[in-house]
A and B are shown apart, each in its own frame.
Chain A
Amino acid sequence: MTAQHATQPAGAVSVPMENALGGENYLNHGRGLWSWLTTLDHKRIGIMYLVSILAAFLLGGVFALLLRTELLTPQQTIMKPDTYNQMFTLHGAVMIFLFIIPGIPAALGNFVLPLMLGAKDVAFPRLNLASYYLWVTGALFALVSIITGAVDTGWTFYTPYSTTTSTSVISMVFGAFILGFSSIFTGLNFVVTIHKMRPPGMTWFRMPLFLWGLYGTAIIQILATPVLGITLLLIIAERLLGVGIFDPALGGDPVLFQHFFWFYSHPAVYIMILPAMGVISELMATFSRKRIFGYAAIAGSSIAIAVISFLVWGHHMFVSGQSNLAGMIFSFLTFLVAIPSAIKVFNWTATMYKGSVWLATPMLYALSFLFLFGIGGLTGLFLGALATDVHLHDTYFVVAHFHYVMFGGTVMGFLGGLHYWWPKMSGRMYSERWGRIAALLIFVGFNVTFFAQFVMGSQGMPRRYYNYLPEFTPYHVISTVGSYLLGLGFLIVLVYLIHSLVKGQPAPANPWGGATLEWQTSSPPPHDNFSREPVVDDPYDVERWRWDEALGGYRRQEQPASA
């Protein structure tokens, strides 16, 4: 550990500490809408992605609240069954394809990755912009589908339902196909950027763990997404041309679709969670004022997850009629993939040991992540085991499980990252008080909403049910009340973040004392990212950054503090 500190000659550089809102920065480097729409700047593309995915998140969230409202009573509450079926499909499709898959990599990753590398941009800025416009095109196709009768297949598009329903499956499926390319472009860009543009001195094992997370994600995006693309095209071929691939009436095999679909969509779960885990690693170190515990294990576990995630898709199909042998193998591999995640959780917890834990808003989200992802991961054990999965499959237990992982994990990571890098992106601080209130409200609302769903699921309540038996009413009422709290929490976040853009205190270059390179440039950064060459050294030597009252931010000490 001490050897890692030796590369940086003491006292060589003084780092810019100023807020750049008044001076030259990427936000004012070119004015007008056109300068944004045609930008090749990764930071601006990241911001455009951020605004777009937040709009998608809002849309998906409104769908969710309408669904929960419908489920207040066992019979019809506010909508017809067909509307309900379309709405849960759209909630899933919008949240997954438009928000959560691109969420952390394309929005936060785009902004932060080159900065963390001390680079001027990603390897292929034009491909980056193309990726954004593919996202927009895919989103437009999804909107067309919503307007022309929506889809009612569930986001999983299971055949032969999806090849025979009268709703507009084709435009939604084609939208998802295009969004897949957007995702592949981002992944490709990140892999090349990380391989070729690391600065001298930043070896693989001196790279911030967020970049390890993005790297593992990018590998899955490149290798798994094409399979989804082909599968979706086959659905279109079957619907338009009557080619019998999945529909048994045409000589096809409906279960084949499930294999193809989950071959992508299970690894996609890790496309969603790996970047969030990367964010949590950054937050834990910075806000514990402590070197991350077990760096190599966390980095290695990201890659282990990326590799094993390709081999577990069959655990979605334990009751589909696949062979018992296949069930056994998939169950076993599923349990193996639990271990790297468990290792990360232990490492994050251990990072706080003897630290100086600062309960700022981003850290509250990191702690929420530990709590909620802990429940999400442990409930995965019930679903990975063959005998118990048979009972729980396709019940609300599964709905609760994946919301604890995707929402409690990924969205908490996203919110943590958003609040962590917000001062860097906007140059302004948000209200810390309201940040904490909203984080608490979201945490409570989330648990009220989804814990009730574990119980009703294990009691037998099936998912995707418009009507339900009266005995499940109390659970549904609790869940709906929780969802309103959750909605209120997000509303508060929206309000204080927008307020901060106008009235927020100017942010220092390093408000949190992070040791990765993005904190060495001004907030917001200049167009070329760094006005002075950043000092590349240990990304987790956070103790070297000390609070400076005069700056209102952290200043890098010239002598390594922990040497």
Chain B
Amino acid sequence: MGFLGIQGGGGGGFWLPRAASTGAAPVDALFYFILAISVVFFALIVGLMIFFVVRYRRRAGQGPQPSPAHNTPLEITWSVIPLAIVIGIFAWGFKVFMDLATPPANAYEVQVTAQKWSWLYTYPNGHVDDVLHVPGDRPVKLVMTSEDVIHSYFVPAFRVKRDVVPGRYSTLWFEALEPGEYQVYCTEYCGTGHSDMLSKVVVHPPGGFEKWLEDASNLLNTLPPAEAGERLYRSRGCIQCHSMDGAAAIGPTFRGLVGSQRVMRSGTRLVADENYIRESILEPQAQIVAGFEPVMPTYKGRLKDEEITALIAFMKSLAGEKGEEQ
């Protein structure tokens, strides 16, 4: 029955996407219960409405027929039955919600930092990434905060969502059912790049996560600086606002940036040398290039010196034509 959309094989149904966490099934069961109740009541009301409109439509020479203007037993019935049903739905919704409210004690913990317009994940060993990699064989708990405005962390396949608020921590947990990649959205409106504030959860098969974390943590030691810089560019959120292809986005492009001459909002001109790049990363509001908004968050304390060096090496590798002079 396509319209009611009870779970199709593998990829989810008409109404709900694929259910990929231990918490999803109870939520879906409630969803389909409410859907069934809604369809029954809707059919009842609209069915009666259509029946009355057809049966008692206005006809020449036939007026309304007498009938009572109220009926206490009937009115009590149609008040009490819906009341009982909605209290049932309330209780069910509350129970499932509470069952999923507390993370299990053995959950693997990852810190999440939201900022306009990227998600950054900090692992227990200090590694930072823009994709959430998790082990597939244990629950995962996210401890989340925001650097700027309110964001919201939403993984449809896991049926979880939680606001991420500046100045406080919020938590969310899930246990994935199977390895795979799952879409993450920001669902609290946060400005220009809100709809690009996407991310992924990568659930590893047993053993896979530990290996990934070890490799990922050693970028600077195992890769040439420009390549490590590109990984950082992708994983630390630079890519959300700075393009590689020469097109201006929310921030200036990185192509041809190093060594080019920049015109500031204040009218001054300077050359984008290594120290300028470093200052722009650590104190983004110090100099704003004409034509851009001062929206970049600071990376002071979040990028190590050698990481900044790698990023600069990456930018230099994007030499391009000298198109950014103006």
Chain A residues with CB under 8 Å of chain B are 1, 81-82, 85, 152-154, 158, 160-161, 164-166, 248-249, 253-255, 288-297, 319-321, 324, 327-328, 331-332, 335-336, 338-339, 342-343, 345-347, 349-350, 352-359, 367, 370-371, 374-375, 378-379, 381-382, 384-391, 393-395, 455, 458-460, 462-469, 540, 543, 562
Contact = CB atoms under 8 A, between A and B. Distances in A.
14 contacts: A81-B195, A85-B191, A161-B149, A165-B191, A290-B64, A297-B79, A338-B86, A342-B82, A343-B78, A349-B45, A385-B93, A389-B93, A390-B159, A394-B187
A353 B75 CA distance: 15
Interface of B: 12, 14-17, 26-27, 30-31, 34-35, 37-38, 41-42, 45-46, 48-49, 52-53, 56-59, 62-67, 69-71, 74-75, 78-79, 82-83, 86-87, 89-90, 92-98, 100-101, 148-150, 152, 154, 156-157, 159-163, 165-168, 170, 183, 185-196, 293
A217 B241 CA distance: 47
B63 A543 contact: yes
B148 A387 contact: no
B69 A295 contact: yes
Nearest to B35: A382
A540 B64 CA distance: 14
B190 A388 contact: no
A391 B15 contact: no
Contact of A328 (B46, B65, B94): B94
A545 B69 CA distance: 18
Nearest to B52: A352
A255 B165 contact: yes
Contact of B34 (A165, A381, A469): A381
Contacts of A342: 78-79, 82
B167 to A, nearest CB: 3
A465 B189 CA distance: 8
A402 to B, nearest CB: 15
Given A324-B98, A462-B186, A462-B187, A339 B82 contact: yes
A-B complex: 8 closest residue pairs judged by Cβ atoms: A248-B167, A385-B93, A460-B156, A387-B96, A386-B97, A465-B195, A352-B52, A378-B38
Contact of A248 (B46, B57, B166): B166
B86 A381 contact: yes
Nearest to A287: B58
A558 B65 CA distance: 20
Given A343-B79, A375-B42, A394-B187, A385 B156 contact: no
Contacts of A328: 94
Given A332-B90, A384-B86, A458-B15, 9 more contacts: A85-B194, A158-B188, A327-B97, A338-B82, A381-B37, A385-B89, A385-B90, A387-B92, A463-B187
A321 B145 CA distance: 12
A374 to B, nearest CB: 5
Given A81-B195, A349-B49, A381-B89, A160 B150 contact: yes
Contacts of B42: 374-375, 378
B75 A294 contact: yes
B165 A352 contact: no
A296 B52 CA distance: 22
B87 A335 contact: yes
Give the residue among A338, A347, A358 with the most B Cβ atoms within 10 A.
A338
A383 to B, nearest CB: 10
Contacts of B194: 85, 464-466
A296 B69 CA distance: 10
Contacts of A465: 194-195
A164 B149 contact: yes
A537 to B, nearest CB: 15
B90 A331 contact: yes
B69 A1 contact: yes
Given A255-B165, A391-B27, A562-B66, A357 B90 contact: no
Nearest to B169: A321
Contacts of A343: 75, 78-79
B68 to A, nearest CB: 8
Contacts of B82: 338-339, 342
A293 B69 contact: yes
Contact of A296 (B56, B66, B70, B186): B70
Nearest to A251: B167
Nearest to A397: B15
Contacts of A335: 86-87, 89-90
B161 A390 contact: yes
Nearest to A80: B192
Nearest to A1: B69
Contacts of B74: 350
Nearest to A334: B90
B79 A324 contact: no
A374 B186 contact: no
A468 B75 CA distance: 47
Residue in A253, A354, A468 whose Cβ sees the most chain B Cβ within 10 Å: A354
Contact of B101 (A85, A324, A346, A379): A324
Contacts of A355: 52, 56, 64
B78 A160 contact: no
Contacts of B195: 81, 462, 464-468
Contacts of B167: 248-249, 253-254
A342 B58 CA distance: 27
A509 B296 CA distance: 66
Contacts of B58: 289, 356-359
B183 A460 contact: yes
Contacts of A385: 30, 34, 89-90, 92-94
A388 B165 contact: no
Nearest to B90: A335
B292 to A, nearest CB: 12
Nearest to B65: A354
A93 to B, nearest CB: 14
Contacts of A395: 187
Contacts of B196: 467
Contacts of B41: 374, 378
A394 B49 contact: no
B96 to A, nearest CB: 4
A429 to B, nearest CB: 18
A352 B53 contact: yes
A335 B74 CA distance: 21
A165 B189 CA distance: 12
B213 to A, nearest CB: 28
A382 B34 contact: yes
Given A254-B150, A387-B26, A388-B31, A85 B56 contact: no
Contacts of A338: 82, 86
A539 to B, nearest CB: 12
A370 B46 CA distance: 8
A147 B223 CA distance: 52
Contacts of B156: 391, 459-460
A152 B101 CA distance: 33
A459 B157 CA distance: 9
A253 B16 CA distance: 34
Contact of B154 (A350, A356, A462): A462
A355 B59 CA distance: 11
B93 A386 contact: yes
A395 to B, nearest CB: 7
